[in-house]
Structure 1
């Protein structure tokens, strides 16, 4: 399938046909994670539990940045 990057408001995006969304088990409102490599962009359904855990980890790392830096030495 070929598609085009289009202007959507102040952003740019790609419209995915309904058939592809159905094959991937996606519906409107699903969150996706974009994985970028040299010549491809993979979109995978985001794991909401993982996203929440990652947000908590980032908050923890920000709060204890100095202590973690000393422990890493």
Structure 2
């Protein structure tokens, strides 16, 4: 995969993602990317790691309290 050129955009800098990279990330213009620091460097992802952690907690609660949620749904 070729390197990406950093460009000046106003008072910030940015990169343009090649089409194939955008397709692999499943992002379109206007979508948001999240930046995470990993042991291997910086990672860009269309998925919010904090949201994913919250959803995992919600899944655990829904599994544990399945009967209560079923009664509330009636």
- Into which bin does the TM-score normalised by the smaller protein fall? 0.5 to 0.7
Q: Provide structure 1 residue ranges, at least 5 long, that are not aligned to the other structure.
A: 54-73
C-alpha distance 22-37 of structure 1, shift in aligned 2 (>3 A) = same
Q: Provide structure 2 residue ranges, at least 5 long, that are not aligned to the other structure.
A: 55-74
**Structure index of larger Rg:** 2
Partners of 1:24 and 1:12 in 2: how far apart? 20
TM-score (norm 1): 0.54
TM-score (norm 2): 0.54
Flag as ranges the 4+ runs of structure 1 deviating above 6 A.
none
RMSD of aligned Cα (Å): 2.5
Provide the aligned length of Structure 1 versus Structure 2: 51
